[in-house]
């Protein structure tokens, strides 16, 4: 069983749409990361959360520790948002970098 | 935002050969990590390195793997005798402090033939 599950696996949206990507995890965590992987393979860190909500530009990340669930929202989506979005968690007691990764959600935003 | 480079960007090697992948953080960092991603699969943790020693490693990081920081700046991952299943994208990541975001390098694509 995967410790980090993301949904949907694939998502196609029209430019301007509001997008939500979900992440559920089964372990106790000390932090959750949202990452963006570009078609060329490079990975960019978007957010690190341990509680509540964070916002950066058109991106919003929320986490509900009790429900073991996090969401990544993209407002006013744009074709340049097309990428794979990855949720990763650091389990409680785990070292700094020992992240457990989800399989990713592939987002395609059409003009 | 801290910058991390990795060399080479792509390496092709024959099975059984040794490879060294390099990670060069531009500024001073304390925590270093290696991850790998086999094509079409999820990213997996290999090892974390702090204060010039391994702080944690995964089951994947067996005796064929080693890490070091030979000259105080470069951070290297060595695979002693490559296998076909070592073909993957290898990412280095860094953090300045504990509990903060990680910055990833662009990755090295390793192809073992």
Q: How far is CA A7 from CA A20, A36, A60, B43, in A?
A: 9, 15, 17, 17
3-class SS of residue B85: helix
Q: How far apart are CA B21 and CA B12, in angstroms?
A: 12
Least reliable range by pLDDT among A60-69, A93-102, B2-11: A93-102
Neighbour-count burial for B41-52, b at 16+ CB within 10 Å, e otherwise? ebbbbbbbbbee
Residue A91, pLDDT > 70, answer: yes
Cα A39 → chain centroid = 16
Q: Exposed/middle/buried for A100, CB within 10 Å: 0-12, 13-18, 19+?
A: buried
Instruction: Give the pLDDT score at A93.
Output: 72
- Which contiguous run of DSSP H or E holds residue A53? strand A52-56
Tell me, yes or no, if B56 comes closer than 8 A to chain A by beta carbon: yes
Instruction: Identify the band that residue B105 occupies on the pLDDT scale cut at 50, 70 and 90.
Output: very high
Cα B93 → chain centroid = 8
Residue B41, pLDDT > 70, answer: yes
Residues 33-72 of A with CB under 8 A from B: 33, 35, 40-45, 47-48
Cα B11 → chain centroid = 13
Beta carbons of A95 and B106 less than 8 Å apart: no
Least reliable range by pLDDT among A13-17, A46-50, B85-89, B98-102: B98-102
């Amino acid at each position: 069983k995967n410790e980090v599950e993301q949904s949907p696996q694939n998502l196609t949206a029209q430019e301007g749409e509001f997008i939500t990507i979900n992440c559920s995890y089964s372990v106790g965590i000390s932090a959750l990361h949202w990452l963006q992987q570009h078609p060329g393979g490079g990975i960019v860190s978007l957010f690190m959360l341990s509680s509540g909500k964070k916002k950066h530009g058109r991106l919003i990340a929320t986490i509900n520790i009790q429900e073991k669930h996090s969401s990544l929202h993209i407002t006013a989506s744009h074709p340049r948002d097309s990428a794979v979005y990855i949720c990763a968690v650091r389990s409680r007691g785990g070292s700094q970098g020992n992240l457990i990764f989800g399989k990713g959600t592939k987002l395609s935003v059409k003009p | 935002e801290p910058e991390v480079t990795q060399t080479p960007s792509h390496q092709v090697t024959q099975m059984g050969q040794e490879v060294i992948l390099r990670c060069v953080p531009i500024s001073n960092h304390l925590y270093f990590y290696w991850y790998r991603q086999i094509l079409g699969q999820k990213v997996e943790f290999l090892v974390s390195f702090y204060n010039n020693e391994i702080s944690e490693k995964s089951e994947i990081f067996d005796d064929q793997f080693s890490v070091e920081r030979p000259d105080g700046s470069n951070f290297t991952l060595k695979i002693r005798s490559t296998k076909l299943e070592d073909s993957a994208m290898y990412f280095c990541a860094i953090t300045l402090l504990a509990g903060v975001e990680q910055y990833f390098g662009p990755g090295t694509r390793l192809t073992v033939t």
